[in-house]
Amino acid sequence: MVDVHDGHTPIRLDAASPNLTPRRLRHELPRIRKGGLNTILSTVAALEPPQTALAAVAEWWRVDSDAGQPVRVATSTGQIRDAVTQDELAVVMHFQGTTPLADNLDLVSAYQRLGVRVMQLTYNAGGLVGDGCLEERDAGLTKFGRNVLAELQRVGITVDLSHAGDRTCTDALAATTGPIIASHSNVRAVCDSPRNLLDAHIRAIAETGGVIGLNAFPAFVATDPVPSLDQLIDHAVYIGELVGAEHVGLGFDFADEDEDDYDYYGYDERYYPRPPWTWPTGIASWNDCADLEEAFLRRGFSPAEVAGIVGENFIRVFDETWTG
């Protein structure tokens, strides 16, 4: 691992992890450790109703209270840095969608008080908040969605546009009062998928001070059946040239999903091939993350830019948005 962090303990952050759950912790933690990552945004809920989401939040707090686990739930950037300094894994609770709100705006504040710190506005389909990226009507944010956006920013939950439809992105970016992220989204001009971002939205996210996390899901990296780490970095190069490397992060979205998971999440075969998935060579799992800094340096990023990409850029946004 190349040191691009001036000798201090680096933040090495993956902003999208469906795989890391309390029940999978024993299996996943060695892979995370091997890859040198120390901060993970865990997908606590996505399409689940409030009762299920609440139970999932409680599971993470049970892990946090177990002194025998080298894992801590982080609700501030200070807690992230403290955990990393103590060689513990910092876990940030992340909702990949607003279904856990049902139609109750007050649940935004409740989840914030329970430790949720990042929330996507939509998943792939349409919902009460707005349309996802695979919703063909592409109607954007609803009135309720605009209220949710405002409330997320009021209480200090980072707004995430991954999976959002084009008009939903446009509506949210026009209404935002602070930085917005796309935790795990690539560039549509590099790989033409509705899950990837248009240049206009990349520019608008950057104008808010936000960050876009590179997504290793193969169908969003390139049209090649088995893409590579270098092709994933192509997206970072594109974003860096368009708006600056300070708006690039990592959101790998590693997922060991089967046919049942595929049907549960309602994936569209035009954009998501059926599993098993072959992840990019050189970045097929957390095991491969140890040499990420070197890979970015080889592509012309400076040490300071690389330190931002592997963690500090997202930390900057969280410092500004976790105000509650």
192 domain residue, yes or no: yes
Of 233, 263, 262, 261, which is closest to residue 248 (Cα–Cα)?
233
H-helix or E-strand spanning residue 316: helix 313-321
Q: At 46, which CATH number?
A: 3.20.20.140
221 domain residue, yes or no: yes
The residue segments making up the domain with residue 302 are: 13-321
How many structural domains does the chain have? 1
234 domain residue, yes or no: yes
Evaluate if residue 324 carries a pLDDT over 60: no
Evaluate if residue 7 carries a pLDDT over 70: no
Q: What is the average per-residue pLDDT within 257-268?
A: 85
Evaluate if residue 209 carries a pLDDT over 80: yes
5 domain residue, yes or no: no
Cα separation, 150 vs 142, in Å, equals 12
- Give residue-wise pLDDT tens across range 93-151: 999 999 999 999 999 999 999 999 999 999 999 999 999 999 999 999 999 999 999 99
Q: Considering all CA atoms of the chain, what is the largest pairwise distance in Å, rounded to the nearest integer?
A: 50
Confidence of residue 277 (pLDDT cuts 50, 70, 90): confident
**Strands (E) located in the chain:** 13-17, 39-45, 71-73, 89-95, 116-120, 158-160, 180-181, 212-214, 248-250
6 domain residue, yes or no: no
Neighbour count for residue 1 (Cβ, 10 Å): 14
34 domain residue, yes or no: yes
1 domain residue, yes or no: no
Neighbouring C-alpha atoms within 13 Å toward the C-beta of 75: 14
156 domain residue, yes or no: yes
